[in-house]
Structure 1
Amino acid sequence: MSGDLILVLNCGSSSIKFALFEARSEALARRPLWNGKVQGIGGPTPDFGETSIPVRRVQLDAEHPYTAALQLIREQVDQRLQGRRLVAAAHRVVHGGKRYFSPTLVTAEIIDDMRSYIPLAPLHQPFPLEAMGVLLAQHPELPQVACFDTAFHHDLPLVEQILPLPYSIWKQGLRHYGFHGLSYEYMTHVLPERYGDLAQGRVIVAHLGSGASLCAMQGLQSVATTMGFSALDGLMMGTRTGALDPGAVLYLMEIDKRSLQDVGHMLYHQSGLLGVSGLSSEPRVIVQHENDPGERGVRAQLPLALALYVRRIVREIGALTAVLGGLDLLVFTAGVGEHNAFVRERVCRDLAFLGVELDDDVNAGNAGNAALISTPDSRVRVAVEPTNEEWVVAQHALMLLSKPQM
């Protein structure tokens, strides 16, 4: 496949991230040849940003903006082929349910089947399926590969998979799935390269972005993770609740008389940092106003939002450390984990009981570059590691396409 290329698409509700990788039989280069994103899809001011080129405004068909955004990306890809062949489009798909736990060639039937998992990840699941459908209609000759965020956790220990519901529910396929698997899978490649045998030990990776979860790994395998049946579980997030007493949901519906749709919207879109702070879903925005004088600064919910956000992370790290029987390496990744030193500082401060000692100068100076940010005396090593989900997706697509098809 020398000279051939793979296009990776990571599709959200209002943005499409893209990356173009060389499809080589030898080790796949981790840096894409070209990448960027279309954002603001469906809004009044969509824009297009790519490697080393300033963001520019674009015009998208108002009736079919998503299709238009995909067409824009495909036109830009065609300009970069320069005689080379695009051999596949590969997609990150958040939920594979009980059927999909390995990379899968996309067909119309599989797209229809994957729609059944939309209720489990309504913020994410519909959009790669829409992109697959558009590409299948416009370019039926182009192979497409779906790669699933839930796949990495497919072999969790049974005691971590099962939910405390009647056993008949388990037989229906309701289980603890886990998410952000493509990010965690990338860590299984890069952490051994940087930290050797330490990466094979008791490791917790904190994927902190607009969505957030933790994964406890031992021997580079997932042994426990905070997100469960849906992408609502676990840590407090930008707009999502994280773990919540189900009695609170029942109360909102039975006593407060809120509809299922209203409660669902609250849990996914109006909670988390945004809901508690009343200001923003971004920690970096909230912290700028945390100590402001005046009306905004005196509101108790600003410092409380960050305190709760950190507390939930610390609590879950403690729980996963208990499952692992100790902790050797803690890794921060994703947008918040990589770029918010104050979040890392507050989390590590509250983990001092584990022997975590942060090098404040190194932590404050880290801007998303891979770095060990703990002191030499820290009993737990603490690192920042940028994630690379697109590379994992490209690698899976290459391996699948290289196999003889039955």
Structure 2
Amino acid sequence: MGDIILTINAGSSSVKFSAQEIAEGKLTPLASGLIDGIGGKATFSARKSGGEKTHFVLDQTHAAVDHKMALTAVLDWMEDQLPGANVVGVGHRVVHGGPNYAQPVLVTTETFKDLKALEPLAPLHQPYNLAGVEAAIHAFPHAAQVACFDTAFHRKHPFIADTFALPRQYYDEGVRRYGFHGLSYEFIHRILRYEEPVLARGKVIVAHLGNGASLCAINAGRSVASTMGFTALDGLPMGTRCGQLDPGVVLYLMSEKKMSAAEITDLLYKNSGLKGMSGISNDMRDLEASTEQSAKDAIDYFVSRVRREIGGLSAVLGGLDCIVLTGGIGENAVNIRRAILKDMEWFGIQIDEDANARNERVISEKGSPTVALILKTDEERMIAAHTAELLGLKQPIVPAIS
């Protein structure tokens, strides 16, 4: 077995990983897996490509499983299942790169320190991303560690798309719109550039709709606006996050409800969005199956906000040639897609109902002025591609994905 790129997406209680071999100028998926329940009853599940799933509870006899122990379990599993694999690079999803990191970088002591300083900007993501980096350095000491940022794709926004109407000093200090889901958007654009080069050179909106949700306006391959802002709370309502919110609501919660910053953080990040509105679930599938009015209300609000943001981003672009739906909801939720895109003929979007129902790649009618596509995103492959490219192993690896 040859050189391997490992990708790590470390969260507060989980580590998602994939292993991909570099061979003949392509990335070949070898395995993927998840360690869940870190800090509690941690479980390990993984599968080699085309193979049976391995699943077991990690040993917690002496201590609770942390990120370091989780990555050690990955190493042990790979040595058993992928003998001879040479991990030359580990690519990490790092949510926040701040204003200065506009492309993937090798992790050094200095860059790690810089990224650590950004933790207040993404308190529910960044500390755990970096814990994964530290654990990978220990588990794979001879491999290059590469940080790939969710914010990097948006770093060429014009000033007006990045700023808030606050005194300029705050912008200069880093209080600005960063945008997120950049790894997903970059992957989708690379696939578009390969499969639909004419559309890729035009005006495109990508809707990344999942438990986390946002939209991005891309003009000639460049992100020019995003619905997410200073944090991953802004824009669309999400599974548990509120989306766009009048800042006066936060002031009200502080002054009238006497809520602390920690309590407000918990409310807005973990108990709002679809979960908070419905009182049922953060999962769109559960809401679609429910007969409760609150579930319908949550779905209707989600759909209305997506439609509203499509209109706003189209105005930024000055038109629209293509809209791409991706993410768990975008790729699979037939009825949600229909609700989002219906009655938009005036806007140039003519939906083929049968194609949408069949989850086909093209769901717009032939001759529709605006093309509507369903494309599957793959952030892990984008991270692996960035890692391989940064190490000079092959350029470009994506879209050479088969």
TM-score (norm 2): 0.91
Task: Name the CA distance, whole Å, in 2 between partners of 1:329 and 1:209.
Answer: 20
Q: Which residue of 2 aligns with 1:73?
A: 74
Q: Which residue of 2 aligns with 1:160?
A: 161
Task: Name the CA distance, whole Å, in 2 between partners of 1:19 and 1:241.
Answer: 30
1:315-347 per-position Cα deviation (integer Å, ceiling 9, x unaligned): 000000111111111101111111111111110
| Equivalent residue in structure 1 for 2:26, among 15, 19, 28 | 28
Task: Name the CA distance, whole Å, in 2 between partners of 1:45 and 1:131.
Answer: 16
Does the aligned pair in 1 maintain the 2:94–2:147 contact within 8 Å?
yes
Report deviation, 1:350. 4.9
Q: Which residue of 2 aligns with 1:285?
A: 286
What letter corresponds to residue 111 of structure 2 in structure 1?
I
Range that drifts further, 104-113 or 328-337? 104-113
1:191-237 per-position Cα deviation (integer Å, ceiling 9, x unaligned): 12222302211100001111111010111110111111111111111
What letter corresponds to residue 303 of structure 2 in structure 1?
V
SS at match of 2:118: helix
Q: Which residue of 2 aligns with 1:402?
A: 392
What letter corresponds to residue 14 of structure 2 in structure 1?
S
SS at match of 1:163: coil
Does the aligned pair in 2 maintain the 1:182–1:392 contact within 8 Å?
yes
Does the aligned pair in 2 maintain the 1:111–1:133 contact within 8 Å?
no
The answer to whether structure 1 residue 82 and structure 2 residue 83 are counterparts is: yes
What letter corresponds to residue 389 of structure 1 in structure 2?
E
Q: How does 1:249-260 map to 2 (within 5 A)?
A: 249-260=250-261
The answer to whether structure 1 residue 183 and structure 2 residue 184 are counterparts is: yes
Range that drifts further, 50-59 or 267-276? 50-59
Q: Which residue of 1 aligns with 2:130?
A: 129
Q: Which residue of 2 aligns with 1:353?
A: 346
Task: Name the CA distance, whole Å, in 1 between partners of 2:378 and 2:184.
Answer: 6
The answer to whether structure 1 residue 302 and structure 2 residue 299 are counterparts is: no
Report deviation, 1:13. 2.1
RMSD over aligned Cα atoms: 1.9
Q: Which residue of 2 aligns with 1:276?
A: 277
Does the aligned pair in 2 maintain the 1:279–1:286 contact within 8 Å?
yes
Report deviation, 1:55. 5.3
Does the aligned pair in 1 maintain the 2:35–2:42 contact within 8 Å?
no
Task: Name the CA distance, whole Å, in 2 between partners of 1:213 and 1:337.
Answer: 11
Task: Name the CA distance, whole Å, in 2 between partners of 1:349 and 1:400.
Answer: 42
Q: Which residue of 1 aligns with 2:378?
A: 388
What letter corresponds to residue 381 of structure 1 in structure 2?
V
Task: Name the CA distance, whole Å, in 1 between partners of 2:32 and 2:80.
Answer: 14
Report deviation, 1:7. 0.6
Q: Which residue of 2 aligns with 1:335?
A: 328
Does the aligned pair in 1 maintain the 2:41–2:57 contact within 8 Å?
no
Report deviation, 1:42. 3.3
Q: Which residue of 2 aligns with 1:319?
A: 312
Task: Name the CA distance, whole Å, in 1 between partners of 2:329 and 2:170.
Answer: 35
SS at match of 2:240: coil
Q: Which residue of 2 aligns with 1:146?
A: 147
Does the aligned pair in 1 maintain the 2:79–2:85 contact within 8 Å?
no
Task: Name the CA distance, whole Å, in 1 between partners of 2:388 and 2:58.
Answer: 33
The answer to whether structure 1 residue 56 and structure 2 residue 55 are counterparts is: yes
1:59-79 per-position Cα deviation (integer Å, ceiling 9, x unaligned): 243523432221111112223
What letter corresponds to residue 318 of structure 2 in structure 1?
G
What letter corresponds to residue 381 of structure 2 in structure 1?
W
Q: 1:64 to 1:44 in 2, by over 3 A?
A: closer
Task: Name the CA distance, whole Å, in 1 between partners of 2:285 and 2:315.
Answer: 30
Report deviation, 1:56. 1.9
Runs of 4+ in 1 over 4 A off after TM superposition: none
Q: Which residue of 1 aligns with 2:41?
A: 44
Q: Which residue of 1 aligns with 2:249?
A: 248
The answer to whether structure 1 residue 371 and structure 2 residue 369 are counterparts is: no
Task: Name the CA distance, whole Å, in 2 between partners of 1:204 and 1:126.
Answer: 31
Q: Which residue of 2 aligns with 1:222?
A: 223
1:132-156 per-position Cα deviation (integer Å, ceiling 9, x unaligned): 1122234433221111111111111
Task: Name the CA distance, whole Å, in 1 between partners of 2:346 and 2:111.
Answer: 48
Does the aligned pair in 2 maintain the 1:92–1:147 contact within 8 Å?
yes
Task: Name the CA distance, whole Å, in 2 between partners of 1:90 and 1:45.
Answer: 23
Task: Name the CA distance, whole Å, in 2 between partners of 1:94 and 1:395.
Answer: 17
SS at match of 1:36: strand
1:253-300 per-position Cα deviation (integer Å, ceiling 9, x unaligned): 0111111110111010010000000000111110101xx3xxxx2xx3
Q: Which residue of 1 aligns with 2:13?
A: 14
SS at match of 1:33: strand
Structure 1 unaligned blocks of 5 or more: none
SS at match of 1:222: strand
Task: Name the CA distance, whole Å, in 2 between partners of 1:342 and 1:157.
Answer: 35
Task: Name the CA distance, whole Å, in 2 between partners of 1:139 and 1:109.
Answer: 19
Matched length: 389
What letter corresponds to residue 316 of structure 2 in structure 1?
V
Task: Name the CA distance, whole Å, in 1 between partners of 2:132 and 2:121.
Answer: 19
What letter corresponds to residue 71 of structure 1 in structure 2?
T
Structure 2 unaligned blocks of 5 or more: 394-402
Does the aligned pair in 2 maintain the 1:105–1:143 contact within 8 Å?
yes
Does the aligned pair in 2 maintain the 1:210–1:238 contact within 8 Å?
yes
Does the aligned pair in 1 maintain the 2:33–2:44 contact within 8 Å?
no
Task: Name the CA distance, whole Å, in 2 between partners of 1:175 and 1:285.
Answer: 35
